[in-house]
């Protein structure tokens, strides 16, 4: 039968595991957004290269390309800013997960020590009972 302290530790471990699960979910979402932001940066850079190739090949005029290029560069810059922000969110989510894992492991370590102490106490009681029975048998 579990005592109140052991039940409280089990509840704490469940709570910590829930926090770990939530942190993993948040990290997965953050990494997904970071990857999407990275894809957008790459697409916008590729668009500049594509437009430049079109201008060089004569498909569009160089004047049109020069007129468009600042907007293309601005789009890349905005995408890079969004990527930077997404990376910060991912980094924060990683830190939250690291902390949640540490808290969960600490709670589990406390529980493990508690269970070891209980096992040692039971073993000592059993040994005491065995010793008492042996003494009674020798006396009798």
pTM score of the predicted model: 0.78
Would you say residue 99 lies in a domain? Answer: yes
Is residue 140 pLDDT above 70, yes or no? no
Query: What's the whole-number mean pLDDT along residues 21-45?
Result: 98
Q: Is residue 35 part of a domain?
A: yes
Q: Is residue 1 part of a domain?
A: no
Residue 77 within any structural domain of the chain: yes
From the list 41, 117, 1, 8, the residue with the least C-alpha distance to 49 is 41
Asked whether residue 129 is domain-assigned, the answer is: yes
> What's the alpha-carbon Rg for the chain, to the nearest Å?
32
Q: How far apart are CA 23 and CA 20, in angstroms?
A: 5
Q: Per-residue pLDDT tens for 54-111?
A: 999 999 999 999 999 999 999 999 999 999 999 999 999 999 999 999 999 999 999 9
Number of domains in the chain: 1
Domain holding 20: CATH number?
A: 1.10.287
Q: What is the pLDDT of residue 138?
A: 85
| Residue 135 included in any domain | yes
Structural domain including 83 reads: 7-139
CA proximity to 70, closest of 48, 43, 39? 48
């Amino acid at each position: 039968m579990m005592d109140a302290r052991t039940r409280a530790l089990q509840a704490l471990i469940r709570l910590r595991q829930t926090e770990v699960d939530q942190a993993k979910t948040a990290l997965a979402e953050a990494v997904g957004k970071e990857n999407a932001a990275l894809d957008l940066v790459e697409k916008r850079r590729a668009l500049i290269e594509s437009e430049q190739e079109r201008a060089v090949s004569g498909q569009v005029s160089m004047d049109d390309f020069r007129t468009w290029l600042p907007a293309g560069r601005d789009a890349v810059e905005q995408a890079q800013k969004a990527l930077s922000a997404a990376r910060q969110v991912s980094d924060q989510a990683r830190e939250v997960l690291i902390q949640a894992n540490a808290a969960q492991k600490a709670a589990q370590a406390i529980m493990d020590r508690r269970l070891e102490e209980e096992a040692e106490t039971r073993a000592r009681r059993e040994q005491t009972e065995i010793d008492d029975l042996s003494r009674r048998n020798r006396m009798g």
